[in-house]
Structure formats: C-alpha cells, structure tokens
Amino acid sequence: MEELLERLNAAQREAVTSTEGYVRVIAGAGSGKTRALSSRFAYLVREAGILPGHILCVTFTNKSANEMRQRIHNLTGDQDTGYICTFHSFCVSVLQEDSHAVQYPKNFLVLDNSDIDDMLKILYEERGLTLRHMTFRKARDMFEIRKLFEEPEYYLDLISMSLEQLRDKYWQAVKPADILFYGYLYQQKKCFGLDYNDLIQFSLYIFEQYPDIRLKWQKRLEYIMIDEFQDIDALQYQLMSVLSGYHHNLFIVGDPDQTIYTWRGANVRYLLDFHRNFSPSQDILMVENYRSTPQILAVANSLIAKNQNRIPKELSPVRPDGPPVLCFYGDNAQKEAEWIAEQMQALHQSGVPYREMTVLYRAHYVTRTLEEVFLRKELPYTIYSGVQFFGRKEIKDALAYLRLIACQDDLSFLRVANVPKRNLGERRMKFLQEFAEQNHCSLYQAARQSRENPVFQGSRLDRLLELVERFSSGQEDKPVSEVLAEVLDASGYEEMLRTEGSQERLDNLAELKQSVYEFEISCGEETTLEHYLSHVALFTNRDTAEAGDRVKLMTVHAAKGLEFPYVFLCGMSEGIFPSRKIRTWDGMEEERRLAFVAVTRAERGLYLSQAGGRDFDGSPRYPSRFLLDIDQSLLTFVHPPREELIAEARQYIAASKRRLAGAPAPAPLEPGRRVRHKIFGEGRVLEVDPEEGACTIQFDGMETPRQLSLAVKLEYL
C-alpha cells in the first residue's frame, strides 16, 4: 500500500486515507477520481481490514462498475469485490434477498423499455387505444411521473391488491391515462415485474416498513462510496441517506461543473449542500488535471467561470504545453465541414491515426454536412451511439418517397407503401407482389391496375396512388426542396412523427430539407428531382473503410466519461449549442456545463468551429455565446470573425438572456466592472456617484473617460 499511496498526489492521498465520517470530494474533470475511488477501496480492505462485502461502491453505469471492479481486483487480488454496482443493481440485490417482505418471489422480472412497450401493445389492443391518444414514450413518461410525484404509493396497490382487484381497476378506468396506468400495474402484477424506478421505491418501502431488514443492511454496509454524485436524483439520495444512517461513513465524489442530466432528475444541490445536510463533513478538492494540455484547460476554466451555480475552482494542468486551441468561423456549414476535414487530413499526414480524432456535437442532425464532406473526401468515420445521417430511418423514408415519385421503383414502394399506416399489411402486399410477377410489371403498376379489387377495400391504397400521381406530373418546375416539404406533409409522414413525439426525427427531416435547399443554391436553376437523387445516392451508398481507423462522431452526452486525443467541437451556433429549446437560466447554465464537458474531453488538441449563414427558415446563425464566453486571447482564430457579426451576436445573446426565466437580478454597477455601451463599445467603470446619478467609464476606444447617466443601458461583461 505504501507504493500505491506514493503514486497518488496529495489530494488523492487525503481522499484515500480519510476513512471515517462524511467526506465530500470535489473532483474536477481528468483529476483521477476513479483511481482515488479504487485505491480507497483497496486501502479499506488491505490496510483497515474491512471485508469487501461490507463496502458499497456506487457508480452510474454498468460499464463504470465493471471497470472499477477490475481495478479493485488488480489492487487487492481478491475475487470478492463487495457491492460495486449501480443504484439499481444494488436494489436488485436487496430485493432478491428480502422481496418476501412485499410478497414478491426472488425471481421477479426487471422490466426495460421494450418490455413496457410490449405491455402497452396489449393494453392498446384490449382497450381500443391508438397512438393519437398517447405515444408509447409519453405513456412511459406518464408512468414515471405518476409513480414519483402524483401517486408515489402506487406500490401499495401492487403489494396489497389481488390480481383480480387490479384487473377490475384497469377495466373500470375511463380516461386513457388511467387505463394505461392501471393496466400497466395489472400487467406488472401478472408477471411480478418491476421497472427501474420500482427497484428503488420498493427497497425504500421495505426499509421503512421493516426496521429489522433496514438495520441488517445498514450494519452490513460499513463504508459507502458514491461516484458521480452530481448526477444523483431524489430517490437515490433518499436511499443513500437511509443506508448510511448507522455507521455514518459516506464518501462522495462529484463535480458540480459536470451536472448535465437534470432532465433525468439529477439535482446538483445535493452535492453543493452536502456539508449542510451531513455535518460535520470533510471537504477535499481535486483539481490537478492529468488529461488535457494547459491550453485546453485555460479555455475550459474561462468558459465554466461564467456559471454562477457552482463551487469556484480552476483545473490545474499536469501535462506539458500543447498546440493552441483553434477556432474557425465558417460562412456556412459546408465551409465548416471542409475546414474540419482539412485539419483531420493534416493531422493524419503528420502521423495521427483517424481513430484518435473525435467530432462532438449537441444534436445528431448536425452531422449531415460533415458526413457529406467526409464521404466525398474519403475520410473514414463512424457514428458512436447513432446512425449515419443518410442511414437514419426517417431520412431513408423521405428519400424513398422522392424516388417513388421519380421512378416508381419496387424498393421505394415496399419501403413507404404502409408508412404511415394505410392498411396495406402482409396479405395485401403479397397480392400485389404476385400480381406484378404474373403480369411482368412493377409493384406501383400492379397497384394502379388492382386498385378496384375487393382485396383493397378498407385500405388507403388510393391515397398513396393519388399522392404519387399528383407529384410525378406537373411538378417539374417546382424546386426539389418544395416538393420534399409538400410530400412529407401530404403523405402524413411528418404528422405521424409528431403523433409519436419523435422530435429528434423531425429535426433530422428539417436538416434534410436544409441540405436540399443548399444543393439547389449550389447547382442553380437546372436542378431536377432526378439530379438530386443521383447526387444523394453517393452518400447513401457509403463505402466501408478499414474497420479500425475511423474518426468517431458522437453527441456530447454520449462522450461523458470518455476522453480523446483530438476533439473537434462543431456546430457552436446559437440555437444549436446552446439548444434553441432552452428557456430558463438554470437550463442555460446546464448547457454551459455540457460545453465544459465537451472541451474537457480533449487531451492533446481542441478545435472549435461554427457555421454562419442562415437556417432553413431564413433566420441568421450567430456564434454561440459559449465561444464568446471564452477569453478571446486563449483562442487562435483561423480567420478572425467580422466585428459586425460579433456585435450582432452579442446583441442577440443579451436580448435572449433577458428572456430566460429565473435570470438573476443584475449585479450593482461598481468600479472595476467591465461593461458594453451600444454606441461606445466596451469599457471599465471607474467611478459610481449615486447622488449625481452618474457613472464614469473609460471606454477601450477612447483616450478620455465619459460620465454617463445611471439610467443608460449597459451590458455587463
């Protein structure tokens, strides 16, 4: 253990050897928290003599738990690594041991989303519901909300009611939400199934109702360690509080600057207020960063310092200097993608494998232009936790509609004939296929010739044929982008996605429309539907590059917990990153934390980029406020942005800040504060005289200061 401790820095060593009481470790990005956690576990076992089975170490993903378990095994050499698991996995252990208390068998079923969807299919069919009443996703969300907030004692129904009583409650329900909720509880009872939230709720119920069981677990778990504490939610916090209630040994590790899951229930206040709720407690600050160069960390520190709801700290670099952080303002998305590809090719030529380069973005639809450029330049890539843009279902469906209009081919007909539903099931499609084979014609021609056949009575085949006939004749003079928009509307495809609540897929279709529009602009008036389909076929028939050496493309959320030698953070525009959906001050702070997470994924090189121009709806694209948050002296601009563009962006951002709900009141004007005047530009306050109602400001572009009324509108920097 002495050798192990010598390899740790002072803060890590303090964390490892602080065994008793409540300990809060604020661990910055790349500061070696996993090493500290695994070393502390080994220290408790090898030095303190604690049995591994008496230690609970909670992580937030099974992957992290497996990695932690392997590290601890390597340090201790012991096959018994105690409870190293997620909250949900731990609750499965509790219920497998004590589920008899709630009349559940040990072999109960843990339900995932696909299991819940299978139950929903049964309920929809039994009670004649459709997706217009409620989508599956909304139904799952409704179950979670009702269980957590509206009917938090639902589990009493599952425990106390007989199967017959639950079934009666289900069949007596009238409102769709009640039908689905009670029907779901009935289906759960039938198979003794519990979903993820049930696991914690049932465990807490057992601990509350059966003090002997609670005390057994409290005594067993002598030491509790929790990783990623900034992501903990209310139920997990309650469970942790109960489990640590006997020995009072609770060790937590987290970083409030990396709270990016509030939409999943995470509450950063649990970390920020830990010392108030668990007293006395010890605080340890780990800020030595082993991952990134000083240049990258300077950018990260400058960015996150703009957040107010945080514990102030600065990451300190351990690595030597690296290249400057490059920032590129492109006139449009095409030029942004071209620049990224050029930088990657230059890195590759200098000996850097493509697999060491990663593109991060806020939303998947941003990849469309990147993929087009990468394919044209034969730059190998792979989408991490996603599908290539032109391989996504909604994009292939939309293009199939265009191909069906242009070519009436069988593949396109088969793909979209029943999307959205037109009652063209297997029996009717088989009829068309047999008719086409016997008459040596296409499926579309077979449909036209068979439209009066009784077999299609009750179907909506006529609507599909009318759609194709309408758009295949008399549309030659229309722009392709207009045809695409009209087809997606007339076919009911976009309405289907709205009914399903698939906003991400709708965003992807909007990006497809943007790509068609840009293609028309670049090609001019001669653009035809056939011309566009030939062009896009180059992207849908993607060549496969060598398996191992590819650029990775992924969202920032997917990159959480990972690190990459070279990071390209693209799409840094207002409305993209930060997302246009952000409506509150707290939401904007979380977006900034997400940008901070993206920046701190980079080890050796960081590239930031933004595309100007206009969106499909005609609105201008401004540089992201997160780019402007960073001290501009820390960035190396490939082409310095126009001063007019930056001024317009700052005005837009200032106006949007005022619209954010929950925005804090502006700090008082005081000497030393940096401000911006709409005419005089930026400057520093020298003096404030409340009696005179005036302030004196030295503006950067003026030799002498100006005395202005306190009523003047100033933007605080």
Residues 285-302, mean pLDDT to the nearest whole number = 95
**Weakest-pLDDT range from 132-136, 168-172, 211-215:** 132-136
The residue annotated as part of the active site, out of 98, 195, 227, 589, is 227
Q: Above 90 in pLDDT, residue 72?
A: no
Using one digit for the tens of pLDDT, what is the confidence trace for 299-323? Answer: 999 999 999 888 889 999 999 999 9
Residues 78-106, mean pLDDT to the nearest whole number = 85
Q: What is the pLDDT of residue 522?
A: 57
Which residue matches tokens 């240049």? 295
Q: What distance in Å separates the CA atoms of residue 467 and residue 475, rounded to the nearest whole number?
A: 12
Tell me if 392 sits within 8 A of 398, measured CB to CB. Answer: no
Phi, psi (5° rounding) for residue 716? -80, 135
Q: Of 112 and 150, which is predicted with more confidence?
A: 150
Residues 252-264, mean pLDDT to the nearest whole number = 89
| Annotation says 560 is catalytic | no
Using one digit for the tens of pLDDT, what is the confidence trace for 329-365? Answer: 998 889 999 999 999 999 999 999 999 999 999 987 7
If pLDDT is split at 50, 70 and 90, which confidence band does 471 have? Answer: confident
Q: What is the pLDDT of residue 541?
A: 46
Using one digit for the tens of pLDDT, what is the confidence trace for 517-571? Answer: 767 765 555 567 877 776 676 555 443 333 478 999 988 988 888 899 999 999 9
| Annotation says 17 is catalytic | no
Closest of 4, 200, 139 to residue 501, by C-alpha: 139
Q: What distance in Å separates the CA atoms of residue 613 and residue 260, rounded to the nearest whole number?
A: 29
Residues 14-25, mean pLDDT to the nearest whole number = 94
Residues 30-47, mean pLDDT to the nearest whole number = 90
The residue annotated as part of the active site, out of 12, 13, 24, 33, is 33
Residues 198-205, mean pLDDT to the nearest whole number = 92
What 3 state SS string does 408-469 have? CCHHHHHHHCCCCCCCCCHHHHHHHHHHHHHHCCCHHHHHHHHCCCHHHCCCCHHHHHHHHH
**Helices 426-439 and 443-450: crossing angle, nearest 10°?**
100
Closest of 268, 272, 320 to residue 297, by C-alpha: 320
| Annotation says 228 is catalytic | yes
Residue % of the chain over a pLDDT of 70: 94
The residue annotated as part of the active site, out of 34, 135, 382, 698, is 34
| Annotation says 63 is catalytic | no
The residue annotated as part of the active site, out of 258, 334, 514, 527, is 258
Q: Above 90 in pLDDT, residue 241?
A: yes
Q: Above 70 in pLDDT, residue 617?
A: no
pLDDT, the chain, mean: 87
Which residue matches tokens 């993607």? 542
> Counting beta carbons within 10 angstroms of the beta carbon of residue 65, is it exposed (0 to 12), middle (13 to 18) or buried (19 or more)?
buried
Q: What distance in Å separates the CA atoms of residue 578 and residue 303, rounded to the nearest whole number?
A: 13
Q: What distance in Å separates the CA atoms of residue 199 and residue 207, rounded to the nearest whole number?
A: 12
**Residue 85 in 3-state DSSP?**
strand
Q: Above 90 in pLDDT, residue 216?
A: yes
The residue annotated as part of the active site, out of 291, 513, 601, 676, is 601
Give the tokens for residue 198.
Answer: 């049930």
Q: What is the pLDDT of residue 521?
A: 66
Contacts of range 707-712, beta carbons closer than 8 Å, 24 or more positions apart? 708/677, 710/669, 712/677
Report which DSSP code applies to 493: H
Rounded to the nearest 10°, the torsion over CA 361, 364, 367, 368 is -150
| Annotation says 601 is catalytic | yes
Q: Which residues make Cβ contacts (< 8 Å) with residue 106, sequence separation at least 6?
A: 96, 99, 100
Classify the phi-psi angles of 407: left when phi > 0, otherwise alpha if psi is within -120 to 50, otherwise beta: alpha
The residue annotated as part of the active site, out of 98, 195, 222, 228, is 228
| Annotation says 227 is catalytic | yes
Q: What is the pLDDT of residue 174?
A: 94
Q: What distance in Å separates the CA atoms of residue 671 and residue 36, rounded to the nearest whole number?
A: 44
Rounded to the nearest 10°, the torsion over CA 157, 158, 161, 166 is 90
Q: What is the pLDDT of residue 74?
A: 82
Q: What is the pLDDT of residue 540?
A: 52
**Weakest-pLDDT range from 135-149, 504-518, 528-542, 668-682:** 528-542
Q: Above 90 in pLDDT, residue 668?
A: no
Q: Where are the beta strands (DSSP E) in 287-416?
A: 288-289, 316-317, 325-330, 357-361, 381-383
* Other CB atoms within 10 A of residue 101 CB: 17
Q: What is the pLDDT of residue 685?
A: 93
Q: What is the pLDDT of residue 676?
A: 87
Q: Above 80 in pLDDT, residue 608?
A: yes
